[in-house]
Amino acid sequence: MRTFLNLMLALIAAAAASPVSAAQATPADGVPAEQAAARILAVKTLCKEPGRFIGWPSIAQAPNGDLLAVFSGDRTAHVSPDGKVQLIRSSDGGETWSAPVTVFDTPIDDRDSGIIRTAKGTMLVSWFTNPGGGEWQGHWVIRSEDNGHTWGNPVRTEVTTPHGPIQLADGRLLFAGQRPHESHSKTFDVAIQESLDDGRSWRTIGTFPVPEGARMLEYDECHVAERANGGLIILFRDCFEPHRIRQSESADGGKTWAAPHVTEMHGYPPHVLRLRDNRLLAVYAKRWEPFGQYACFSRDNGATWDVAREVRLTAAWDSDIGYPASVQLEDGSIWTVCYQPERPGETPCLVGTHWRPLEE
C-alpha cells in the first residue's frame, strides 16, 4: 500500500510540474460545460488563416437554414490596409464550415462586418473602411437575395457599428452607430438611421444624447435590440476603466432616448439579442484576466442583468480578442462567434461557441 501511495504521489507531483504546454491550449480550456445559466455544447475554431489576422465577426442564419459568419479577414494585422469582408458558411448547424469567400474588398481596409437576415429573407452585411481617402472611404451595406451566395452593389450609410443594424417588428431596419460630428469639433457623434426598403436606402431619424462633457469613446461601438415590451434598448462600449457597459432605452422607435446609465456588466463591446423566451442576451469580451468571451441575461427587459450567473463562453490568453455576436437556432441553442487566437502566440482566428441557455 505504501509503495502504491508513493507512486500516486509521484505521479501527481510530476503532473503539477509539467502543466499542459501553451502549444496545447485551446479556447475551451477552463470553460465549464455545465454552468449556472448555460450548458456549453462545443467550443471550436471555425476559420483560421495561418499567418493572417481575422477580426470583428458577426453571425446570422439564412432563410435556407445555413449559418453565415462574416468578419474582416486575410489581414496583415489588427491595423493594416488590407482587410477584406469575408464569409464562411455552415449547412449542418455549425458542425462543419466552408473555406472563407470574399464578399467585398475595397482598395482600402474593410473592417467590422455585421450581418442580419431581414424579414423579407435578404441577407444584409455592413462594414466600414479605415481612413485611406478616396471614393471608398466611409460606411457600407450590401444585400444578398439568395442566402448569401451573390451580392448586389454596396450602399452608403451615415453610421457604423461593429454588428450592424437590426430588424424591428414594424418592418423597419434600424441602424444606430457612430458618424463624423457635423461641427467637426468632436471626432464623432452617435446617430440613428432607418431603412424602409429592406436596406436599399437609409435616412437619419435622430441622434443619441451623449452627455455633455463625455470623453471620446465613452459611448462607443453600440448595439440595439427590441424588447418584449415594445421598446428599444441600446448598449455601449466604454473604453475607460472600469469598462462597464452603458445602456439607454427608447420608447418611440429610436427617435429619442432616455438618459444613459452604467450597468453591472463588465466587458466590451456588447452585442444584444432578444431570445425566443423574451430574455435579453448580451455578449462581450474581457480583455483582462480571466481573458475570454462572456454572456449575461436579463429577464426584465434590461432593467437588471444577472451578472451573478455570467456565462463563460471561451478562454483566451491576451487582449486582442472579442467582438462576440450571437444567433439563436430553431432548437433554442445559440452560436456565438468571436475573434481570438486558437493557440497562445498565434494571430487571431474565428472561434465559435455552441451553447444552450438553461430555462428559468
206-218: average pLDDT? 90
**H or E element, residue 282:** strand 280-286
Residue type, 47: C
Please check whether residue 219 lies inside any domain of the structure: yes
Instruction: Specify the pLDDT at position 237.
Output: 97
3-state secondary structure of 287: coil
Q: Which residue has the cell 463624423?
A: 180
Q: Is residue 14 very low, low, confident or very high in pLDDT (cuts 50, 70, 90)?
A: very low
Residue 4, domain member (yes or no): no
Domain of 90, in residue numbers: 28-357
Weakest-pLDDT range from 1-15, 19-33, 51-65, 204-218:
1-15
Ramachandran class of 104: left when φ > 0, alpha when ψ lies in -120 to 50, beta otherwise: beta
pLDDT above 90: residue 193: yes
Which helix (H) or strand (E) element contains residue 226?
strand 220-226
Instruction: Tell me, yes or no, whether 19 lies in a domain.
Output: no
pLDDT of residue 181: 66
Name which of 54, 47, 66 is nearest 327 in CA terms: 66
What is residue 4's predicted lDDT score, i.e. its pLDDT?
34
The 10s digit of each residue's pLDDT in 287-345 is: 999 999 999 999 999 999 999 999 999 999 999 999 999 999 999 999 999 999 999 99
Is 22 within the bounds of a domain?
no
pTM of the model: 0.92
At 21 the pLDDT is: 58
Mean pLDDT of the chain: 92
Within 10 angstroms of residue 178's Cβ, the number of other Cβ atoms is 22
According to the model, what pLDDT value does residue 97 have? Answer: 98
The answer to the question of residue 242 being in a domain is yes
In a domain, 10, yes or no: no
pLDDT at residue 23 in the model: 66
Q: 36-40, 75-79, 181-185, 350-354 — which is least confidently predicted?
A: 181-185
Indicate the number of domains in the chain: 1
> CA–CA separation, 271 vs 283, rounded Å?
5
Lowest mean pLDDT among 25-29, 124-128, 283-287, 336-340: 25-29
10 confidence band (pLDDT: 50, 70, 90): very low
Tell whether 71 is covered by a domain. yes
pLDDT at 182: 62
Each residue of 143-175: pLDDT tens digit?
A: 999 999 999 999 999 999 999 999 999 999 999
The arithmetic mean of pLDDT across residues 258-266, rounded, is 97
Where residue 17 falls among pLDDT bands split at 50, 70, 90? very low
Q: Starting from the edge strand earliest in sequence, which strands make up the sheet with 84-90, in order? A: 53-61, 67-75, 84-90, 101-104
pLDDT of residue 8: 36
Confidence of residue 183 (pLDDT cuts 50, 70, 90): low
Residue 309 burial (10 A CB sphere; 0-12, 13-18, 19+): middle
Backbone angles phi, psi at 33, to 5 degrees: -65, -40
Distance CA 173, CA 170 (A): 9
How would residue 187 be classed by pLDDT, with cut points 50, 70 and 90?
Answer: low
Question: What CATH number is associated with residue 155?
Answer: 2.120.10.10
